[in-house]
Chain A
Amino acid sequence: MATAASQQTWMQRNKMIVTPILFLLPGLLFFSVYVIIPIFQSFQISAYEWNGLGDLSERGEFVGLQNYRELMSDRAFEVSLWNNVKWLALYLLAIPGGLFIALFLNQTVTGIRLYKSLFFFPFVISQVVVGLVFTWFYLPRGGLLNTILGGLGFDTLNILGDPTLATYGIIAAGLWPQTAYCMILYLTGLNAVDPEQVEAARLDGAKGWRMLWHVVLPQLRPATFIAFVVTIIGALRSFDLISVMTNGGPFGSTRVLSFYMFEQALSEYGFRMGYGSAIAVVLFLIMLIFIAYFLYSMWRDERPART
Chain B
Amino acid sequence: MFPTPIQKRSEAVRVTYQVFLPIALILWLLPLIAVASFSIRPLTDFTQGNFWGWPSSFNLFTNYGRVFFESDMPRYMLNSLMITIPTVVGAVALSCMTGFALGIYRFKGNLLIFFMFIAGNFVPFQILMVPVRDLTVSLNLYDTKLGLVLFHIAFQTGFCTLFMRNFIKALPVELIEAARVEGVAEWRIFWFVVLPLMRPAIAALAVLIFTFIWNDYFWAIVLTQGPEAQPVTAGITSFNSQFVAQYHLMSAGSIVAAIPPVAMFFAMQKHFIAGLTLGAVK
Contact = CB atoms under 8 A, between A and B. Distances in A.
A100 to B, nearest CB: 9
B146 interface: no
Contact of B2 (A216, A291, A302): A216
B81 interface: no
A193 interface: yes
Contact of A295 (B46, B52, B118, B261): B118
Contact of B122 (A52, A265, A287): A287
Interface string A270-306: 0001001101110110010011001100110010011
A15 interface: yes
Interface residues of A, number: 105
A64 interface: no
B199 interface: no
B197 interface: no
A181 B273 CA distance: 10
Interface string A170-190: 000000100001001100110
A203 interface: no
B25 A119 contact: yes
A42 B130 contact: yes
Given A19-B105, A117-B269, A239-B218, A52 B130 contact: yes
Contacts of B237: 128, 244
B59 to A, nearest CB: 17
B184 to A, nearest CB: 11
A138 to B, nearest CB: 9
Given A24-B113, A222-B280, A133 B35 contact: yes
B218 A136 contact: no
B31 interface: yes
Nearest to A221: B281
Contact of A185 (B17, B98, B277): B277
B277 A226 contact: yes
B185 to A, nearest CB: 8
Interface in B123-144: 123-135
Interface string A120-160: 11101111110011101100011110010000000000000
Given A38-B127, A126-B261, A134 B31 contact: yes
A142 B124 CA distance: 37
A63 to B, nearest CB: 16
B236 A132 contact: yes
Contact of A107 (B17, B120, B134): B17
A273 B221 CA distance: 16
A205 interface: no
Contacts of A277: 127, 130
A240 B218 contact: yes
A136 to B, nearest CB: 6
Interface in B29-85: 29-32, 34-35, 38, 46, 49, 51-52
A1 B161 CA distance: 39
B252 to A, nearest CB: 12
User: On chain B, which size bracket covers the interface?
Assistant: 35 or more
Nearest to B6: A107
B233 A236 contact: no
Nearest to A147: B52
A236 B122 CA distance: 10
B209 interface: no
B261 A108 contact: no
Contacts of B35: 132-133, 136
B7 A108 contact: yes
Given A104-B24, A133-B35, A302-B111, A280 B98 contact: no
B50 to A, nearest CB: 9
Contacts of A27: 94-95, 97-98, 157, 161
Given A27-B94, A121-B262, A240-B218, A35 B122 contact: no
Contacts of B127: 38-39, 42, 277, 280-281, 283-284
Nearest to A236: B124
A19 B3 contact: no
Among B51, B111, B126, the one with the most A-chain Cβ atoms within 10 Å of its Cβ is: B126
Contact of A291 (B14, B119, B187): B119
B21 interface: yes
Contacts of A15: 186
A117 B38 contact: no
Interface in A205-225: 207-209, 211-212, 215-216, 222-223, 225
A26 B133 CA distance: 21
Given A16-B107, A291-B122, 14 more contacts: A34-B154, A36-B116, A52-B133, A126-B261, A129-B236, A129-B255, A132-B251, A133-B254, A184-B276, A226-B280, A243-B221, A276-B129, A283-B126, A287-B122
11 contacts: A16-B107, A23-B190, A26-B94, A126-B257, A128-B215, A133-B254, A193-B2, A212-B2, A237-B125, A239-B218, A291-B123
